[in-house]
Amino acid sequence: MAATLIDGKAFAAKVRGQVAEHVARLKEQNGITPGLAVVLVGEDPASQVYVRSKGKQTVEVGMNSYEHKLEADTSEADLLALIDQLNNDASVHGILVQLPLPKHLDEDLVINSIAPEKDVDGFHISNVGLLGTGQKSMVPCTPLGCLMMLRDHHGSLSGMDAVVIGRSNIVGKPMAQLLLGDSCTVTIAHSRTEDLPDVVRRADIVVAAVGRPEMVPGDWIKEGATVIDVGINRIERDGKNVLVGDVDFASAAERAGAITPVPGGVGPMTIACLLANTVTACCRANNLAEPEGLTA
Ligand code: NAD
């Protein structure tokens, strides 16, 4: 393997350490404990695992964790009433509604009912608009984690040619906005892109966020490029269940300059950035200085 491995697990631990330090300072100097409320509707097994993990890590960095578990048949009115209560609760600085929601609930309506300054997922339409216009916002956690790793590896990203594969609202589009904000020349590729290999081959930075196991082979990667693999795909290999990314790691690592593994790359950064966003939201709510290096 020629490429440098970008170790998301270690990086996430460092980010959590920075968050914990800032939380300790807020408690000591200001008597404030940041609080994150997570709302889970229904019993989707993957969502339950995520919510448990978020709660555990929230407590580990010294913040308050408030978990609200609602029945799968909870009415929209009841969910909105809970969000309203959390919006008005001064001890709650971040609110996250775990997606996907059961089909009878309108996801857009629910997300847009969260107070934008408490929207630590960065999905509220106001935050989307603020990010798109280069203003201070809450930034979606997964792309924020990717940006932090890229900045850490490269220093400045200015002038680099970046290709984001995938145009989802939670990863692809905000990722492209962040790269543009750091003065990259950005292309968003998607399922209708013509000659994707050619588009990817010119990129200094490739962010793959598609959800198709190992769809980007090594020979699409420009020599020395940095590859950030957001994909999390569970496949069966040699009779075992394994996790792979959207990039064929073995062949891509032969050509890339740096690459994130799956697992242990982007994944761990997502919750670390959720904690970072919560401490940022708490500082903004109290007109205090934000922690450095933890926002876009
Ligand atoms: P999505 O399904 O919402 O979007 C996928 C995108 O890929 C679409 O915009 C589509 O246009 C594009 N696409 C589909 N087929 C394509 C093709 N053949 N060529 C080029 N583009 C194609 O998915 P998402 O929510 O953005 O997630 C993408 C992947 O990232 C998934 O594997 C998901 O599990 C993973 N993910 C990981 C994290 C993390 O914390 N690491 C967070 C969110 C998502």
At residue 1, the pLDDT reads: 73
Identify the CATH number of the domain in which residue 234 sits.
3.40.50.720
Which CATH number belongs to the domain containing residue 99 in this structure? 3.40.50.10860
What pLDDT, in 10s, does the model give residues 200-243?
999 999 999 999 999 999 999 999 999 999 999 999 999 999 99
Report if residue 133 sits inside a domain: no
Pocket flag, ligand 1, residue 274 (CB < 6 Å)? no
Predicted local distance difference test score (pLDDT) of residue 99 = 97
pLDDT tens across 152-211, in order? 999 999 999 999 999 999 999 999 999 999 999 999 999 999 999 999 999 999 999 999
Q: What's the mean pLDDT when you consider all of the chain?
A: 97
Give yes or no: residues 164 and 262 share one domain. Answer: yes
Nearest CA to ligand 1 atom 14: 191
- Identity (one letter) of the amino acid at 41? V
Q: Please give the residue range of the domain that contains residue 246.
A: 141-268
Instruction: Examine the domain organization and report whether 79 and 146 are in the same domain.
Output: no
Verify that 96 and 196 share a domain, yes or no. Answer: no
* Any ligand 1 atom below 6 A from CB of 191: yes
Helix, strand or coil, per DSSP, at residue 121: coil
How are strands ordered across the β-sheet holding 35-41? 64-70, 35-41, 94-97
Residue 141 has which token pair?
């956690």
* Residue 230 covered by a domain: yes
Q: Are both 229 and 192 inside the same structural domain?
A: yes
Q: For the chain, what is the domain count?
A: 2
Do 158 and 42 lie in one domain? The reply is no
The secondary structure of residue 140, as a DSSP letter, is P
- Answer yes or no: do 148 and 97 share one domain: no
CB 107 within 8 A of CB 99: yes
Cβ of 99 closer than 6 Å to ligand 1, yes or no, is: no
Q: Which residues are tagged catalytic?
A: 54, 98, 121
Residues 164, 61 share a domain:
no
CA of 188 to the centre of ligand 1 (A): 12
Residue 17 has pLDDT above 80, yes or no: yes
Is 204 within a domain? yes
pLDDT in tens, 22-76: 999 999 999 999 999 999 999 999 999 999 999 999 999 999 999 999 999 999 9
35: Cβ below 6 Å to ligand 1?
no
Residue 98 and residue 185 in one domain:
no
Residue 6 lies in a domain: no
**Backbone φ and ψ of 235, nearest 5°:** -130, 165
51 belongs to a structural domain: yes
Considering the domain boundaries, does residue 221 fall inside one? yes
